Amino acid sequence: MSGVIGQAVSRIDGPAKVTGSAHYSGEIALPGLAYAEIVGARVASGRITSIDTAQAEDAEGVAGILTHLNMPKVNNVPLLPSLIGGPAPGETFFPMQDDVVHYAGQPVAIVVADGLEQAQHAATLVQISYAETPSITTIDQGRADAYEPEKIFGGLMPAQTRRGNVEDGFAAADLLIDAPFRFAANHHNPIEALTTTAVWDGDQLTLYDSCQGIKAVQLTVAALLGLSPSKIRVLTRYVGGAFGAKAMVWPHVTLTALAAQYVRRPVRLALPRGQMFTSCGHREEQEQHIELGATSDGKLTAIRHHKISITSPFDDWAEPAFGVASQLYACPGFEGVHRLVRGNTMTPTFTRGPGEAVGVFTLECAMDELASELGIDPIELRLRNITDVDPNTGHPWSSYGLRECFERGARRFGWAGRNPQPRSERHGNWLIGTGMATAGYPIAFFMHTQRARAHLYADGTAIVQTATQEFGTGTSTVMTQVAADGLGIGLRDVRFEFGDTDLPNAGSPVGSNGAMMVSAAVHNAATAVRDQLITLAVSDSQSPLHGADPAGVVVAGGRMTLAGDANTGETYSSLMQRHIMSDAEAIGSWDPPPLDTPHGLLTFGAQFARVAVDADLGIIRVRHMVGAFAPGRVLNPKTARSQLMGGMLWGMSQALLEGTHMDTRHGRWANASLGDYLVPVNADAPDVDVELIEVEDHVTGPLGVKGVGEIGQVGAAAAIANAVYHATGYRVRELPIAVEHLLAHLPSGPASAAAGAQPDLT
C-alpha cells in the first residue's frame, strides 16, 4: 500500500557487506573453537584396506580423528529435493559408515585440531591404503550399460515426457534437423566455500551453516542423527553465493556435528576450494540429441530430445532437461527421454537453471539451425511456433509476455535489419555475429506452507520474521519492502529478521521460488496485522474511522485513512495507545496452488548476444548481451536486474568457459581449482542490458511474483552459440565452446571452404 514495492531500493545489507562487518557462517567467534579438515579418498573405487591415524593423532594440537572405524552410524535418509520442505540430503550415501570407496574425494577421515594449520597438516599424516578397483567416471566408459530410470531428480520427475505422436510428426515434416551435443560437467563454485560450525550444548545442537535453506539443514541433520528437529537450531544470515551447491544438505554438515560431539568442543569445517569439487554435487557431464521436424513454412511438427548423463552409484539423478523444452512451442509431437550411466562420482545436483539451461540450449541451437535452413528470421520462426497454452496440458499460461520479450529485446539490441548470412560482418580481424534464443523457466509449486510473523509496536515500527537466509538474491531487502507495503509503514520502520530456524517456516529458495513464496507469507503476515488494527479502528467509537467499511480504509506512513479522504483517519500509534496495546502480531501463511492447477506455469524471456571471433585464432569475445524477461511483478528492479544479469553472465560462462574434466586414469577431476576451472573474470564480462516486462499473474501468490533467479541463464548460452555460428559459419556442438573447435573453420583455416558444413563430432 505504501508504494515501496517496485522501487529500486538499494540493498539493506549493503553497508554491512561493503564494510566487512556482515558475518558469514565461518565468521562467528566461539570460545574453544576447533578446526576440522576432511581427508578425501585418493581412489575412485575400491576398499580401504588399512587406515593408520597414529602419526596424525600425535601431531601437535590434534583433538580427535574420526574414520569409518569409529564413526557413529547414521540413519538412511532418502534423497528428496529441498524444495519439498523435508529432509534433503544431497545423496543417499553417507560416508565413513564402512570401508567402501565410491568416488574420489569421498570423505574417509575427519581430523580435528586446535588450530586450522594444525588440522590441515595432521590431515596429511593420516595413512590410508586402498584396494583399488576399476572406475567408471565418464559417459563413454559406461555407455554400454546405460539404462532408463523410472524417475529422476530425486524421484520428483518422470524420466520420459511424451505428447502426441512423434513418428506422425516427422512423417509430416518437410525438413529435419538432427543435432547431437555434448556438455562438460560444471561446478558451482560459490566464492564462499561450504562452511559449517557445530556447537553442542548437552543434547542441543546449534549449526552455523552456509546453506540455501536452514530448515532443510535442520531437518536433514535431525533425520540422519535420529534427533528431534526441536533439538537443532540453525543460524545463518549471510551466505556467500550458492547457485545450487548449497540447495541440498551434503554429508560434511552432519560430519561436522559428529566431530564436534566426538571432541566435545565447537568445531568449524570450511571446505578447501579443491574439495568443493567433490563435496556438494555438480552439473553432470551429459549429451543431448535433438531432432526437429518442421513444415516448409517453419511450423514444428515433431521434437525428439534425448539425454544421456552420468550419475552416482546410489542415486538416479539427472537434471530434468525437457520441462521448458517441451513447453515453449506448440509442436504436436514431443518425445523426451533421459538415460543414465552409473559412475564413480558423487550424486550430481541442482546447478543454476537446473536441466533447463542445458535442455533449452539444445532446443534453441536447433531452432537457429532450422531458421537458417528455411531462410526465416530466428525471431519470426519462434513467433510462428509459440503458444498461448501449455502444449503439454492445454492450460493457459498463468501469465505470458513472451511476444513483448521478443519485441522489447530486439529493439534494445538492434536486431532489425540483421543480415542472416554467416560471416557477413567483419571489423578488422574480428568476425562479428549476433544470435538470439527464447528463455523459459518453470514455476514449481512443490513447497509446503510458508509462514512469516509480523510484529508491530505501538510506536509504528515493526519486526517481520521468517526462517529464510540471504545468499545474494536480495531477499532481505525485498522482504523489507513487502513488509512495509503490507503494513503501510515506511521502509525504515521495518526490521526484517531472518536466518534462524526458530522463526516461522520458510522453504529453501531454490528453483527461482524464493521471492514468490517468501513474499506471499510476509505479505499475508503484514496485511493480517494491518487488518486487525483497521478492524479495531472501525469498531472503536473514539476513532475517526468508526463505522467505516474496513475495505475502504487504506494505510500509508502508519496512518489509517478513508480511501479518497486522507483527512479522516488516525495513526496506528494513536489507536494502539488509546487501547493500551504495546504491540500487535500475526502469523501469515501461504499455501501454493495444487500441483494440478489448471494453468501453464513458466516464466518467459528472450536473449540476444553479439560476439566477435578472432578470424585467425578463434578467440571469442562477447561484446554485448540483452535479455528481456517477464517475471510477473517485479518487487525491486535494482536487485532483480542484478540477478538476471548474473544469470546471463552464467550463460556466457556456460557457453565459453566452464567445464570440469575427468582424468579417467585416476577417476578424479583434473581441474579442481579456481585457477584451472574457468569462471568469468571482469575482463570476460560484457555489458549486459536487462529489460523487465511486468505481467499480471493471479496464480503465483498474492503479489503475482514469478522469479528471476535462473531464467537469466536459460537461453543465454544458446544466443551466444548462435552468434558464434553467425560470425563464423560453423556450428560448435560442444560446451564450453573453445578455440580448438573453431580453429579449422576460420577464414584462414583448412576447412574454410566448407564453412557452414555440418561438424564432425568424432
Partner 1 sequence: MDGEIAALPAERGPSAQAVTLTINGEPRPLRIEPRVSLLDALREHLGLTGSKKGCDQGTCGACTVWVDGRRALACLTLAVTCEGHEVTTIEGLSAGGELHPMQAAFIDKDAFQCGYCTPGQIMSAVALLDEGHAADDGQIREWMSGNICRCAAYPNIRAAIRAVRDAAGGE
Interacting residue with partner 1 among 59, 253, 528, 537 (CB under 8 A) = 59
Contact characters 186-225, partner 1, x per CB under 8 A: ---xxxxx--------------------------------
Cα(486)–Cα(48) distance, integer angstroms: 59
Residues that are catalytic: 710
Cα 691 from Cα 673, distance rounded (Å): 35
Distance CA 193, CA 252 (A): 12
CB 631 within 8 A of CB 637: no
438: left (phi over 0), alpha (psi -120 to 50) or beta: beta
58 binds partner 1 (CB under 8 A): yes
Residue 24 or 94 having the CB closest to partner 1: 24
Could you tell me how many residues of this chain bind partner 1 (CB under 8 A)? Answer: 66
Query: Rounded to an integer, what distance in angstroms lies between the CA atom of residue 479 and that of residue 476?
Result: 5
C-alpha angle 136-141-143 in degrees, rounded to nearest 5 = 115
Q: Is 616 in the site for partner 1 (CB under 8 A)?
A: no
Question: Is 13 a residue that touches partner 1 (CB under 8 A)?
Answer: yes
Nearest to partner 1 of 57, 168 (CB atom): 57
Residue from 191, 595, 681, 683 in contact with ligand FES (CB under 6 A): 191
Is there binding between residue 688 and partner 1 (CB under 8 A)?
yes
- Verify binding: residue 681, ligand FES, rule CB under 6 A: no
Stretch that binds partner 1, among 23-31, 171-179, 507-515, 610-618 (CB under 8 A): 23-31
Which of partner 1, ligand FES, none sits in contact with 471, Cβ below 5 to 8 A by type? partner 1
Neighbours of 535 (CB within 10 A): 12
| By CB under 8 A, residue 32 contacts partner 1 | no
Residues 718 and 516: their CA atoms lie apart, in Å, by: 27
Could you tell which of partner 1, ligand FES, none binds residue 587, using a CB distance below 5 to 8 A set by kind?
none
What whole-number distance in Å separates Cα of residue 300 and Cα of residue 568?
61
Query: What is the spatial distance between Cα 526 and Cα 483, in angstroms, rounded to a whole number?
Result: 6
Q: Does position 236 bind partner 1 by CB under 8 A?
A: no
Q: Which of 86, 155, 180, 241 binds ligand FES (CB under 6 A)?
A: 241
Least CB distance to ligand FES at residue 72 (A): 34
Q: Does 49 bind partner 1 (CB under 8 A)?
A: no
Binder among 413, 650, 669, 725 for partner 1 (CB under 8 A)? 650
Three-state DSSP at 574 gives helix
Any contact of residue 472 with partner 1 (CB under 8 A)? Answer: yes
Q: Does 252 bind partner 1 (CB under 8 A)?
A: no
Question: Please, what is the minimum distance in Å from the beta carbon of residue 644 to partner 1?
Answer: 11
Choice from 142, 149, 154, 240 touching partner 1 (CB under 8 A) = 240
Element (H, E) at 268: strand 267-270
Asked if residues 648 and 712 have their Cβ atoms less than 8 Å apart, the reply is yes
Q: Which region among 303-311, 417-425, 540-548, 686-694 touches partner 1 (by CB under 8 A)?
A: 686-694
As given in the structure block, the three cell numbers for residue 703 are 503479489
Q: Is 637 in the site for ligand FES (CB under 6 A)?
A: no
Nearer to partner 1, 543 or 639 (CB): 639
For residue 673, which of 108, 105, 271, 189 has the smallest C-alpha distance?
189
* CA terminus-to-terminus distance, the chain: 61
Q: Which one of 252, 641, 706, 733 is in contact with partner 1 (CB under 8 A)?
A: 641
Cβ of residue 28: shortest distance to partner 1, in angstroms? 9
685 binds, among ligand FES, partner 1, none (CB under 5 to 8 A by kind): partner 1
Report which of 743, 723, 749, 721 is spatially closest to residue 181, judged by C-alpha positions: 721
Closest distance of CB 648 from partner 1, Å: 8
Residue number with CB closer to partner 1 (268 or 599):
268
619-624 contacts: CB < 8 A, separation 24 or more? 619/739, 620/656, 620/724, 620/737, 620/739, 620/742, 621/430, 621/686, 622/652, 622/656, 622/684, 622/686, 622/720, 623/432, 623/686, 624/413, 624/686, 624/687, 624/688, 624/689
Of the candidate residues 44, 93, 119, 121, the single one contacting partner 1 (CB under 8 A): 121
Q: How far is the CB of 646 from partner 1 (least distance, A)?
A: 4
Residue nearest to ligand FES (CB): 191
Give the largest Cα separation in the chain, rounded. Answer: 91
Among 378, 472, 507, 667, binds ligand FES (CB under 6 A): 472
- 632 near ligand FES, judged by CB under 6 A: no
Choose, by CB under 8 A, the member of 84, 100, 116, 337 that binds partner 1: 116
Cell 520427475 sits on residue: 157
Whole-angstrom Cα distance, residue 680 to residue 181? Answer: 23
Residue 275 or 561 having the CB closest to partner 1: 275
Please classify residue 762 by burial: count the beta carbons closer than 10 Å to its beta carbon, then call 0-12 exposed, 13-18 middle and 19+ buried.
exposed
Q: Which helix (H) or strand (E) is 304 found in, with range?
A: strand 300-311
18, exposed or middle or buried, with CB in 10 Å at 0-12, 13-18, 19+? exposed
Q: Which of partner 1, ligand FES, none binds 121 (CB below 5-8 Å, type-dependent)?
A: partner 1
| 499 lies in the binding site for partner 1 (CB under 8 A) | no
Distance of CA 206 to the CA centre of its chain: 26
Contact between 427 and partner 1 by CB under 8 A: the answer reads no
Backbone phi, psi, residue 42, to 5°: -80, -25
Query: Where do contacts with partner 1 occur on this chain (CB under 8 A)?
Result: 10-11, 13-24, 26-27, 29, 55, 58-60, 115-117, 121, 125, 189-193, 238-243, 270, 272-273, 471-474, 638-639, 641-643, 645-646, 649-650, 653, 673-675, 679-683, 685-688
Query: Where do contacts with ligand FES occur on this chain (CB under 6 A)?
Result: 191, 241, 472
